[in-house]
Amino acid sequence: MTATSRSESPSGFWVALPDGWVGLDADPKTSAASARRLVEQAARRDETIRANQVPLEQMLAQVAADAAASGVVFCACYFQVFDEQTAVQASLTVGFHTGEGNDLASILGGLDDSDGRRLDVVELEAGSAVRRTGRGERAFPGLEEPVEFVSHQYFLRVPNTTDRVALMSFASPSVAFEDELAELFESMAQSFEFTWRKARDGR
């Protein structure tokens, strides 16, 4: 096994995507075309996706737009139709933020729970994290009413830094499956790990 240097801050991260999840281009210059290609490719193989092609493209476009606006560096989406009528959608974004401090107390102190979302501390493979869970609302193009969605966020201190925080944000409008989604999001969060460059001496 090749050794890695842990004396510097991580060079990146890795997270496992379950079957059915696809990575989405977050570059605003190319994200719309990329989302369209993803949906078109999936529609060729799945009749139910083909029947829902327009709303799926809208969902991916909204996720990409939100990602670009908030400095997200990675996003992924899931869409599946069961029993020819029950659609399940979900998304994951990962971003990095700089604040005054990144210890658990500082992270908790900087978060607002006045909207009813729950704050707690959980242990992930990548370290202790502040988890914020609950429901929110989001407006989508072409819809008169905002859509209610399930939200799970994980705030992690970036190792060997004093002000950097990694944020994993999971969201889904499929609120009928809230419990199942909570388990899925938790398992994906547990797979998250920081990555380091190889040591310069090659050992």
Q: Is residue 14 part of a domain?
A: no
Domain count, the chain: 1
Q: Is residue 101 part of a domain?
A: yes
Confidence (pLDDT) at 202: 46
Q: Is residue 145 part of a domain?
A: yes
Q: Is residue 40 part of a domain?
A: yes
Residues 6+ apart with CB under 8 A from 183: none
Q: Is residue 6 part of a domain?
A: no
Is residue 53 within 8 Å of 45, Cβ to Cβ?
no
Confidence (pLDDT) at 190: 98
β-partners of residue 194 are: 13
* CA angle (185 as vertex; 24, 131 as ends), nearest 5: 110
Confidence (pLDDT) at 100: 87
Q: Is residue 3 part of a domain?
A: no
Confidence (pLDDT) at 142: 63
- Cα gap 26→68, rounded to integer Å: 6
- Cα gap 43→48, rounded to integer Å: 8
Residue 56 in tokens: 């799926």
CATH code of the domain containing 182 = 3.40.1000.10
Instruction: Please state, in angstroms and as integers, the Cα–Cα distance from residue 186 to each residue in 3, 16, 32, 153, following that order.
Output: 29, 12, 29, 10
The residue range of the domain holding 33 is: 20-195
pLDDT digits (tens, 9 = 90+) for 85-137: 677 889 899 999 998 899 999 999 999 777 789 999 999 999 999 999 999 88
- Nearest residue to 80 (alpha-carbon basis) of 149, 148, 177: 177
Confidence (pLDDT) at 3: 37
- Cα gap 36→20, rounded to integer Å: 17
Q: Is residue 202 part of a domain?
A: no
pTM score of the predicted model: 0.79
User: Does the CA dihedral 123-89-75-107 come out positive or negative?
Assistant: negative
Q: Is residue 63 part of a domain?
A: yes
State which residues of the chain have pLDDT below 70: 1-7, 68, 84-85, 140-143, 198-203
